Chain A
Amino acid sequence: METLFLARAQFAFTSIFHFFFIPLTLGLSIFTAILETAYVKTGNEKYKHLTKFWGTLFLINFAVGVVTGIVMEFQFGMNWSAYSRFVGDIVGVPLAIETLLAFFIESTFIGVWVFGWNKLPKALHAASIWIVALGSTLSAFWILVANSFMQSPVGYKMAANGSQAEMVDFFALLFNPSLWKQFPHVLAGGVVTAGFLVIAVSVWHLCRGTQERNAFETSLKFGAIYAFIGTMLVVLAGHAQMQNLLTTQPMKVAAAEALWESENPASFSLFTIGDEKGLKDVFSIRVPGMLSFLAYNTFEGEVKGIKNLQKEYAVQYGPGNYIPSIVTAYWSFRFMVGAGTLMLFVSLLALYKVIKENYTFSPMAGTLLFWSLLLPWIANTSGWILAEMGRQPWIVFGLLKTENGVTPASVVSSSELLFSLAVFIVIYAALAGTDLFLLKKYASAGIKTAE
Chain B
Amino acid sequence: MPEPFQLHRDPFGRLALTDAHGVQHLGVNPIRGFPISAAEYGVSICDQEGRELVWIRRLSELPGELRNLLEHELSQREFMPVLESIDKISTNNEPCEWQVQTDRGPTAFVLKSDEDVRRLDGARAIVTDANGIAYLIADLNRLNAVSQRYLERYL
Note whether A and B form a binding pair: no
Where the two chains meet, the residues of B that have a C-beta atom closer than 8 Å to any C-beta of A are none
Residues of A within 8 A of B (CB): none
